[in-house]
Structure 1
Amino acid sequence: MARKVPEVNASSTADIAFLLLIFFLMTTTMNVDTGLTRMLPPMPDPNQKQDDVEVKRRNIFSVLINKSDKLLVRGEPMEVSMLKDKTKEFIMNPNNDPNLSEFEEKDIPVIGKYKVSKGVVSLQNDRGTSYEMYMKVQNELVAAYNELRDELSTSVYGKPFSKLAKEEQETISKAIPLKISEAEPKNVGGK
């Protein structure tokens, strides 16, 4: 006669698995996508004429990234490693070069009379541009502004921009405003 194999009572196994699943879902933390910290410009005054917003070509530092991740700055090919220095040169225009940005002299509290650049960095990429290249370019452009702000804050307050109080940071930001304009990506390469 064949021997009977004892059965294991598995009626509560599904309940236990479900409780474990709920436990792990409740105790696990999820990473939250952070994205880029970029403040949008304020809404334009409805009474302002459209002609008042025009920017001279001289004051535009155009940065284009194509689908092959090649960089074109003001119509010239450039390596990403050179972008930060060229951006700083464009913004500050140390030799009063007529091909670089113009200045508007403003009276800024604590600093006094300061030549504020009218330059705008215009970034545009192709839809086929890699995210890695886009982030490299973004980082270089923001690093240029950060270095300029650090240099000014060190000369005025004796410490870097990130260590300043909020009011002091606002003063430096008035002297070196972050002006990066991002245009809608184009589908140049047909990708």
Structure 2
Amino acid sequence: MKNHRAVQEVNAGSMADIAFLLLIFFLVTASIENDAGLSRMLPSTNNEAAADIKKRNLFEITINNKDEIMADGEIEQLQNLRKKIIRFIDNGGLPIQDDNYCSYCKGERLNTLSEHPSKAIISIKTQRNTSYPVYVAVQNEVIGAYNYFRNSQSLRLFNTTFEVMNSKYHDAKTTVNEKVKLKEQIEIVRKLYPQKIVEPETINN
């Protein structure tokens, strides 16, 4: 008779124990950093909320198929766009007795421009054949206007620019305690000049 040798089985029970111990080891020794990101509110898609915006608080920029820039109802050159945005945002058009009066605004305080930087909204609308470089250039001018205010307020409050604070916050060499302090300062400046940019649906014609 032929001898039938039984197939030897590998005991996998110890392997599971080893894997479990390794998992515990990595959980105990691994360092998990807390999320210290900065909050940013995305534009609202609620049509009812958009309807509540006062006309004076909305600065509309439209780029047509010929890459012409229409700013607040007038054709404007790109190099002059930032000045118009700055004038609009920093207007501070509420009367001094109003609870939302902007004490730090240095604008003309006209009743035709924004009431307060927190209420100022920039709308960028494009047409189907608007070129991408022009669109990006307009975006840069809008962001540049906000950076202008944030840098000036940051210098006034913390003796350094907003861009330097933001750069240090995202630097890997910055300690956790320093990041916590920087985040508080950045949020203070952002609250003074919140960046509110909306982009309505692209126009076909």
Read off the aligned partner of 1:159 and give its amino acid letter: T
> What is residue 102 of structure 1 aligned with on the other side?
115
Contact persistence 2:65–2:128 (CA under 8 A): yes
Mark the runs of 5 or more structure 1 residues left unpaired by the alignment.
1-38, 104-115
> Kindly, what percent of the aligned residue pairs are identical?
34
> What is residue 185 of structure 1 aligned with on the other side?
202
**2:188 aligned residue (164, 167, 171):** 171
Read off the aligned partner of 2:191 and give its amino acid letter: K
Please give the per-residue CA displacement for 1:135-174, whole angstroms capped at 9, x wherever unaligned: 0001001110011100111111110002221211111001
Structure 2 length normalisation: TM-score?
0.61
Read off the aligned partner of 1:102 and give its amino acid letter: E
2:124 aligned counterpart, secondary structure: strand
Read off the aligned partner of 2:183 and give its amino acid letter: K
How many residues in Structure 1 have an aligned counterpart in Structure 2? 135
Q: CA RMSD in A?
A: 2.2
Contact persistence 1:101–1:117 (CA under 8 A): no
Distance 1:97 1:171, change over 3 A: same
Please give the per-residue CA displacement for 1:86-141, whole angstroms capped at 9, x wherever unaligned: 101100011111111002xxxxxxxxxxxx44110011000100001000001001
Distance 1:43 1:85, change over 3 A: closer
Distance 1:126 1:43, change over 3 A: closer
Structure 1 length normalisation: TM-score?
0.65
Distance 1:67 1:43, change over 3 A: closer
Distance 1:40 1:67, change over 3 A: farther
Q: How far apart are residue 53 of structure 1 and its match?
A: 6.1
> What is residue 151 of structure 1 aligned with on the other side?
152
Distance 1:99 1:43, change over 3 A: closer
Contact persistence 1:64–1:72 (CA under 8 A): yes
Runs of 4+ displaced beyond 3 Å: 42-45, 49-53
How far apart, in 2, do the equivalents of 1:84 and 1:57 lie?
20
Contact persistence 2:43–2:198 (CA under 8 A): no
Mark the runs of 5 or more structure 2 residues left unpaired by the alignment.
1-39, 92-106, 166-181
Distance 1:43 1:66, change over 3 A: closer
Report the structure, 1 or 2, having the larger strand content: 1
Q: How far apart are residue 61 of structure 1 and its match?
A: 0.2
Read off the aligned partner of 1:177 and give its amino acid letter: P
